[in-house]
Structure 1
């Protein structure tokens, strides 16, 4: 299986410049157990820069990785607000018996032929369902206590989560250009 890895520009994500062509990513929603993270960072939608359309997101993605297998975890690193940092710390220090995750994300890349941004890796507005990954008995969930310094305003903090798919077939979407698109399965349906 081919793996997927995107390193995204946090600076471009927060301070979108129309003449820059860096890869950017947005964690557009996140719910862990019963905790729904705030969509409190307002940033530019790269596919609607002519209209100066802004979107509210949970976090600005710095990196996303998936090994490509149906049951492989999807790992996300992003920068989140102070409110979401506080919620993350509470989750880390609580009895997290409900490790279910619901999330949406989108990675944007630039098509130099069409001269537009396109969705390079995303869930196509169908919320994905997973579980916080366990690694050696510990949950793959973390938050930096110190403020990120790549972008100092708004105040933001590094957040990490590894997500295993729930026992159902789901779809992730890819784009290699503004017109070249395909999908891959994430998760496997288990008969009852």
Structure 2
């Protein structure tokens, strides 16, 4: 079965350079167990680099095995305040495992000579649940600051999100104007 897997360029995500064409991604919104993480990082929109893009995290990776019930795995860098919020959520016993999120992964099309949205939810809230691996929830955040980009101070995190039982869609593109919409989650009843 096909999968969508991208390693994303953290440096390019924080420090957009027009002469570099590597994939980048951003977590633009996330609420875990009823707690919103702050949209506190400002980067450049690769499709329009004169425009700022506000985000919760600059992504370092995105994976989805494209099955309707498969988890979406995101990894990236969060700010110090968001690291503290995530660490607190992980340590406490969560009474809810619901996740609401939005994200966007961009890739470069060498034929069209521009960035395009390669993997995203079309600016729609995605409703998921924290994935469980055995007894543990699949969410983590680093204790030590990252050294790849040192300012602003940022910390690595990763999360696995399974779909809630509702019909949702994710968008994948292989190039500019080469888009596919795929189902994520099954509605009950």
The Cα of 1:102 is off from its aligned counterpart by 0.3
Partner of 1:48: 48
| Pairing 1:37-76 to 2, within 5 Å after superposition | 37-49=37-49, 52-76=50-74
1:24 matched to 2:20? The reply is: no
Partner of 1:162: 160
Instruction: Please state how far the C-alpha of 1:117 moved relative to its aligned partner.
Output: 0.4
Q: Deviations over 1:120-163 (max 9, x none)?
A: 00000111000000001100010001001111111000011100
- How much does 1:14 deviate? 0.4
Map of 2:34 onto structure 1: 34
Say what the alpha-carbon RMSD is for the aligned residues.
0.7
SS at match of 2:60: strand
What is the rounded CA distance, in whole Å, between the counterparts of 2:184 and 2:29 in structure 1?
18
Question: Secondary structure in 1 aligned to 2:28?
Answer: strand
Q: Tell me the CA shift for residue 169 of structure 1.
A: 1.1
Q: Which has the higher strand share?
A: 2
Segments of structure 1 that go 5 or more residues without pairing to the other structure are none
Counterpart residue number, 1:100: 98
Number of aligned residue pairs: give it: 189
| Runs of at least 5 residues in structure 2 that lack an aligned partner in the other structure | none
Q: Secondary structure at the match of 1:84?
A: helix
Q: CA deviation at 1:115?
A: 0.9
Q: Secondary structure at 2:47's aligned position in 1?
A: helix
SS in 1 for 2:92: coil
- Pairwise CA distance, 1:174: 1.1
Partner of residue 143 from structure 1, selected from 141, 166, 181 = 141
Alignment of 1:79-158 (within 5 A): 79-158=77-156
Q: How far is the alpha carbon of 1:3 from its aligned partner?
A: 1.0
After TM superposition, the score normalised by the length of structure 2 is 0.98
The 3-state SS of whatever aligns with 2:84 is: helix
Q: Which runs of 4+ in 1 moved over 4 A?
A: none
